[in-house]
Amino acid sequence: MLDDDIGTACAGPLVRAGYARSVRAVMRHEGPGPPGRSAAEVELDALCVSLARRWRGFLPGADEEGGRRLVDRREARRRGADVVRFLSASTADGEVAAWGDPYLDPATGTAQIEGLVTSGAHLGCGHGHTAPTTALRLAADAGRGTRFLIADASDRPRGWYERRGFAVIGHTHRFTRG
């Protein structure tokens, strides 16, 4: 549900009826692409091991098949925009430390940044800045005036994104049967 007022008004009755509610912040970045280290553009295969490891950390109860499907669904992202890139920030010895996927739509001048994740072993080491920084520079250099991402409205990464120049421009509300 894209209308924040309607989503908020529906929350009480829907939650009482047994629906779970999640609120996501739509965050926009304006201005030039920020300076910083660059992530490399890679093929999805280069990220599969790191993706699977991180998904197991996020969802420890998931079976191997479920984890594989979560990794494989990234390939479907290529249908999400005219240009989808897979970015990887690596350690000095070549281990994948962080990643993200910018979607670039030339027709609308829009870039959405998806899937920003840092490997659990590399949290707090500075690699997490690299993928979004590179994605923003790619989008700005390609003339994408609307650059955004969607984050959990109450989770820690939202503040991290705000400190990097993203501003909340709205919210989405999702209700699922719990």
pLDDT in tens, 51-109: 777 766 666 776 777 767 777 777 777 776 778 888 988 888 888 888 888 888 888 88
Of residues 49 and 131, the one with the higher pLDDT is 131
Helices and strands, number each (H, E), in the chain = 5, 8
Report the alpha-carbon distance of residue 114 to residue 132 in Å, rounded: 9
Alpha-helical (H) ranges within the chain are: 4-16, 48-58, 64-76, 130-141, 156-163
| SS3 state of residue 14 | helix
**Interval 148-176 mean pLDDT:** 90
Encoded amino acid at 76, one letter: A
Report the alpha-carbon distance of residue 10 to residue 165 in Å, rounded: 31
The pTM of the whole model exceeds 0.85: no
